Amino acid sequence: MNLKRFLLAASAAGLLIYGQAHGHAMLENSSPADNAVLSAAPKSINLTFGHPTKLVMLKLFKGKDLMPITVDTSAAASKTFSIPLPALTPGQYQATWSTLSADGHPMKGILSFTISGN
């Protein structure tokens, strides 16, 4: 491959990656933070995205046990979501979420945290 083709291919790949990341509603912040170790149970999970998006699914697991939470999947698109949590006991938790951005692309993520109880 000659240098001109290589540079063209590299530029195209860079634009593709930039366009995908820039056009989608990426998670910018969460509370609790990913991999946080908390001394007390959080009252809610808070998610902040870079662009308005629809939260279509959020599940919370303690080990293999699904914790009961309610998510209003009919809510309007927003940059921030606050999902109330039930009383949580010490242990390791994993929240899996899925959104649908304004451009129609689905995004998924996982947020893990531990409640130490100390």
CA angle 93, 99, 42 (to 5 degrees): 30
The pLDDT of residue 25: 73
Alpha carbon distance 86, 44 (integer Å): 8
CATH 2.60.40.1220, domain 25-115, yes or no: yes
**Does this model's pTM top 0.85?**
no
Predicted pLDDT of residue 117: 76
What kind and span of H or E run contains 72? none
In order along its 118 residues, the chain shows pLDDT tens digits of 565 554 445 554 444 444 444 456 789 999 999 999 999 999 999 999 999 999 999 999 999 999 999 998 888 899 999 999 999 999 999 999 999 988 888 999 999 999 997 6
- Ordered by start, the domain boundaries in the chain are 25-115
